[in-house]
Every structure is written in C-alpha cells, then in structure tokens.
Amino acid sequence: MEGQIQDNPDTPEAPDEPQRSMMGVIVHSFFIVPFLIAVFCVLLFTAGMMLTREQKTAFDYLEDIRIGGSTKRWVSAFELSKFLADPAKILDEERFAAEMITAFEKARVQHDDSRVQEYLALGMGRTGNPQYLETLLHAIDSSEKNLLLSAIYALGMLRDQGAVAKLQLFLDHSVPRIRSITVVALANIGGSEVIPLLKGALADAEPNVRWGAAISLARMGDASGKETLLELLEPDYLSQFPAVDAREKSDLRVATIEAAGRLDAQDVRMKIEELSQDSDMKVRAAAWNYLHQKDES
C-alpha cells in the first residue's frame, strides 16, 4: 500500500532490556566488585607494610638479627646499616652500642653469613661513635675480603685518628681494591699524619689508588697530586680504561674538577675552562660552577 512504511530487514531489533540488565548485574557482582576488593586489599596490605617498616627502631633490627633465621639476620643487618645512614636516627645510648658489638661478635663466633658482620660494620661506622673503634680494628684482621673492606671503610667514617696506624698497613696490600678503600678511609680521617701516607699512594701501580690519593690531597689543600689531576682533566684520558663505565667516568671527572679547583692553579683553571664545553652535562655543570665561583671571588 502506497505510503505504508516497509520493515527494513537490516534494522536491529530492540534490545531485550531485562536480559541486558541481568548481564550487568552478573558482570558487576562477579568481576568488578571482587576486583575492587582485591585492589583495596593490596593497597591496605602495602600501606600496612610501609607503616610497619617506618615504625621499626634500631633495636627492632638488632632483635631480628639475634633471633631471625639465616636470611633474616643478614637482611636485617643490611636494613639496620641503611637505617643508621640517617643522622637523626643514630643512637648514642651505651646499651645500643653494647648490643651492636654483641651481635657483631656473635656472628663471628657462630660463623654466620659474612654479610651480617659486613653490614653491622658499616652501621657502626655510620654512627661515628668511637665506642666501635676497637671492634672495627680487630675486624680488619679478618681474612674475609668483603668484611675487611667494610671494616676499613667503617673506620674511615668514624674519623678517629686512633685508626691511622693500623690502616696504613693496608696501603701495601696485594689487593688493589683494598688499597683503594684504605686511601678513602685515611682521607676521611684526615689530619697531618695522613698527608705523607696519601703522597706515598700517588706512586701506586693501581690507577684507582693514585686517583683517590690525588683527589683526597687536593681536598686537603695539598697540590702533590696535581699532575695526576691534570691527567684526569684531559677529555679522553679515561677512555684507555674500559673497566671504568660511563657513569663512573662522569662522577670521577666531576670529583676531579671539584677537588682540583681548590688548588687555585692557573694550569688547572685552563683545563677546567676547556671542560665547560664538554659533551658530558654533569662535567660541564661542574666546570661552570667552578668558574662562576672564581669570578665571584
């Protein structure tokens, strides 16, 4: 019939509203709600863990070291060493120092995982408490390389002149890394007694030892290692040392600029001026900072 609207076979039928509503309820009940509950539980658990971690004290970590399992002990020692890196959390209590020393000695007697002593040694050093001096001096008699390194570094952090005489014995050690860490430790302690020892290290066969000695001397205002510093300031000098990665090269050059700049020598200034156009942005910034300070003074 003319004017009658014909059905279009391609036009979809109206949806079944009750069926669609039921599917929505099913999806919401069995998928979305459980998912949201799971997410909430994970967030609640994470928040609880963070809150618990933040509330732990140094004594709590020592307790974990005392009664925990093998893995728990060294992990707790590691966490304690990090905890004590914050000066605000360092305890001066004699009780805490006594318990630290007891835990350290117990780990040695029981032949515990060596990492327990290593991290406890670092924690002792970070406190700066001279009560740990004798314990750490005994520890550097250890034949265990990593403990020896930790104890030497810790003695440097104590900054106690009483450690110098024993530390200098390790400047002739057969392991280059131990000689290098010893230079760092002696430089941290400082004082007139250390300067001749660092000057002697400038002739070491290991480049890292020479570099550390030169930078340390410059920071103390001594120019004995200036030739070594000028080498380090050469743009391509470190390229002959493939074992030194890009980040280490960058950090070393920045440290050299900051240390050499204290010598106030014309040849040093010229080298640093060249580095103000270096491709390494960290090196360039350090050079510009030095030049800016010199222009203001």
Estimate to the nearest angstrom the gap between the alpha carbon of 19 and the chain centroid.
61
Is 120 within the bounds of a domain? yes
Q: Are residues 66 and 152 in the same domain?
A: yes
Residue with the two structure tokens 């040093």: 268
* Cβ atoms 215, 245 nearer than 8 A: no
pLDDT for 134: 96
Per-residue pLDDT in tens (0 to 9) along the chain, 297 residues: 444 334 444 444 444 554 555 555 454 555 555 555 665 666 666 655 555 455 789 999 999 999 988 899 999 999 999 999 988 887 778 899 999 999 999 999 988 899 999 999 999 999 999 999 999 999 998 888 999 999 999 999 999 999 999 999 999 999 999 999 999 999 999 999 999 999 999 999 999 999 999 999 999 999 999 999 999 999 899 999 999 999 999 999 999 999 999 998 999 999 999 999 999 999 999 999 999 887 776
Say which amino acid occupies 163.
A
Q: DSSP labels for 3-33?
A: TPPPPPTTSPPPP-HHHHHHHHHHHIIIIIH
pLDDT (tens digit per residue) in 10-68: 444 444 554 555 555 454 555 555 555 665 666 666 655 555 455 789 999 999 999 98
Mark whether 204 and 235 lie in a shared domain. Answer: no
**How many Cα neighbours within 13 Å face the side chain of 275?**
34
pLDDT of residue 38: 62
Give the C-alpha separation, 184 to 246, whole Å: 21
Residues 104 and 115 grouped into a single domain: yes
Number of folded domains that form the chain = 3
- The answer to whether residue 9 is domain-embedded is no
Instruction: Find the DSSP H helices in 91-206.
Output: 94-109, 114-127, 133-139, 145-158, 164-167, 176-189, 195-201
62 and 145 in a common domain: yes
pLDDT at 42: 61
Task: Tell me if 22 is assigned to some domain.
Answer: no
> Of 102, 126, 158, which residue is a domain's last?
158
Share of the chain above pLDDT 70, in %: 81
Q: Which domain holds residue 295?
A: 225-297
To the nearest 10°, report the CA torsion of 193, 194, 199, 202: 160
pLDDT of residue 48: 55
On whether both 62 and 100 belong to a single domain, the answer is: yes
Q: Is residue 211 part of a domain?
A: yes
What distance, in Å, lies between the first and last C-alpha atoms of the chain?
Answer: 103
Helix (H) or strand (E) holding 105: helix 94-109
Is 15 a domain residue?
Answer: no
The answer to whether 201 and 183 are in contact (CB under 8 A) is: yes
Nearest alpha-carbon partner for 212 in 177, 169, 174? 177
The tokens describing 161, both together, are: 């002149």
Q: Are 73 and 110 members of one domain? A: yes
Residue 293: per-residue pLDDT? 84
Q: In a 3-state reduction of DSSP, which class is residue 154? A: helix
Structure tokens belonging to residue 87: 């000066």
Q: How many CB atoms lie within 10 A of CB 147?
A: 21
Both 128 and 70 in a single domain?
Answer: yes
Give the pLDDT score at 271.
Answer: 95
**Structure confidence at residue 267 (pLDDT):** 94
Largest Cα–Cα distance of the chain, in whole Å?
117
Pair (154, 191) in one structural domain: no
Task: Give the model's pLDDT for residue 8.
Answer: 45
